[in-house]
């Protein structure tokens, strides 16, 4: 987290999970950044990130995606995938953030 903050990045997660599930995951994984809940997938749909019926039990989930948004609210970097097991690594996001400065 210190490296992200030094690069001017404030991580935030958005999930279709209920707040309790996100809170439990954050505690279990040791996450200290905000984890927002979008159970109706309103924001997720707005960014075209809904992956219908792709959850383990056939429920809708968010496609994995990472964004770097600057202080002017302009998206400066994105990473998308269709595979829920594939995410940008922290070092990739840090490198992209550092290039923005």
DSSP letter (8 states) at residue 50: E
Judge whether residue 40 has pLDDT over 80: yes
Q: How confident is the model at residue 20 (pLDDT cuts 50, 70, 90)?
A: very high
| CA 29/CA 24 separation, integer angstroms | 9
| CA 19/CA 81 separation, integer angstroms | 24
Q: How confident is the model at residue 29 (pLDDT cuts 50, 70, 90)?
A: very high
Structure tokens at 23: 């809170």
Judge whether residue 101 has pLDDT over 80: no
Q: Which residue range(s) make up the domain with 38? A: 2-100
Model confidence pLDDT, tens digit, residues 41-97: 899 899 888 888 888 888 888 888 888 887 788 888 888 877 767 777 888 888 888
The CATH number of residue 81's host domain is 3.40.30.10
Judge whether residue 24 has pLDDT over 90: yes
What pLDDT score does 84 carry? 67
In total, how many domains does the chain have?
1
């Amino acid at each position: 987290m210190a490296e992200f903050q030094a690069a001017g990045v404030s991580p935030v997660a958005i999930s279709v999970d209920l707040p309790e599930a996100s809170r439990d995951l954050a505690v279990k994984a040791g996450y200290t950044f905000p984890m927002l809940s979008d159970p109706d997938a309103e924001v997720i749909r707005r960014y075209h990130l809904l992956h219908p019926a792709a959850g383990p039990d056939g429920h809708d989930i968010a496609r994995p995606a990472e964004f770097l948004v600057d202080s002017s609210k302009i998206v400066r970097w994105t990473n998308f995938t269709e595979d829920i097991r594939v995410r940008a690594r922290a070092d990739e996001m840090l490198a992209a953030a550092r290039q923005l400065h």
